[in-house]
Amino acid sequence: MHIHREGYKIIIFTLLIISVLLSTLNHFVPEQHWIHYVIYLLVAGWLIWTIAFFRVPHRKPVKKDDNQVLSAADGTIVAIEEVDEHEYFKDRRIQISIFMSPFNVHVNWYPVAGEVSYTQYHPGKFLVAYHPKSSTENERNTVIVRTHDGQEVLMRQIAGVLARRIINYAVNGDKALPGKEFGIIRFGSRVDFFLPTDADIQVKMGQKVRAQQTIIASLKKK
């Protein structure tokens, strides 16, 4: 496990704020006052959470079949439904949504092998990430990977109430591999998948999933 590079500045900034806060506290409040212990506990929790948020676990993808779609994120399945996808496919697709709480790992990894065929950022609102309209109205970034047999898997990174920045590294033409990082969202967010309607879905509502470890669906071989 290591700390994501996007977290360095935030962790350092957090340490500076904590230093100023504790210096001010020690200047105005007598030593050994109960307020010291409360503040120490709160800032320690804040620092630990900030560092933990940017953790990047070292995992080996469990994928054994090129048609299997791995989870791109840690979190909870909050939607499995057939919907109209209007941005790219403009047809019916199965949408699978994964909600990431502020305590989940927020790095996103490619779920299939292939080539990045489309990326697009969309500014938008900051509704709670599990809201049904967040997929189309929130700030979001779409990434599509075309597999080696020509099928396309759409992933949509979606900002939430706390997630104020979507970071995407995917570029058209990039080689995608399961376990290769394509972005990170901070702080509390969601990732949607849009799959062919004949895909074999292998997760259920409310299920906890882990990036690179949970197979969410299998695509029909062409």
Residue 120 — pLDDT band, cuts 50, 70, 90? very high
Per-residue confidence (pLDDT) for residue 39, from 0 to 100:
84
Q: Higher-confidence residue: 55 or 222?
A: 55
Residue 108 — pLDDT band, cuts 50, 70, 90? very high
189 catalytic? Reply is yes
The whole-angstrom separation of Cα 107 and Cα 124 is 21
Mean predicted lDDT score pLDDT of the chain: 86
Tens of pLDDT, residues 128-177 = 655 556 666 678 899 999 998 889 999 999 886 655 678 889 999 999 99
Q: Which two three-digit tokens encode residue 46?
A: 């804040």
Average pLDDT of span 62-71: 85
Per-residue confidence (pLDDT) for residue 161, from 0 to 100:
60
Residues 6+ apart with CB under 8 A from 51: 3, 7, 11
Domain boundaries, the chain: 2-56, 68-218
The one catalytic residue among 97, 117, 135, 189:
189
Per-residue confidence (pLDDT) for residue 207, from 0 to 100:
96
Per-residue confidence (pLDDT) for residue 167, from 0 to 100:
85
Pairing of strands 75-85, 175-176: unpaired
Evaluate whether 83 touches 28 at the Cβ level (below 8 Å).
no
Tens of pLDDT, residues 166-203 = 888 999 999 999 889 999 887 668 899 999 999 999 99
Letter string b/e over residues 3-17, b meaning 16 or more CB atoms within 10 A of that residue's CB:
ebebbeebeeebeee
Per-residue confidence (pLDDT) for residue 188, from 0 to 100:
63
Residue 122 — pLDDT band, cuts 50, 70, 90? confident
Q: What fold characterizes domain 68-218?
A: Glucose Permease (Domain IIA) (2.70.70)
Q: Higher-confidence residue: 31 or 103?
A: 103
For residue 215, list its beta bridge partners.
70
Q: Higher-confidence residue: 114 or 50?
A: 114
Average pLDDT of span 110-119: 94
Q: Higher-confidence residue: 35 or 81?
A: 81
The H-assigned helical ranges of the chain are: 8-28, 34-53, 134-137
Per DSSP, the three-state class of 143 is strand
Average pLDDT of span 22-36: 77
Percent of the chain with pLDDT over 70: 88
Q: Which two three-digit tokens encode residue 98?
A: 């994964």
Residues 6+ apart with CB under 8 A from 194: 83, 85, 89, 93, 94, 95, 153, 154, 156
The whole-angstrom separation of Cα 135 and Cα 118 is 17
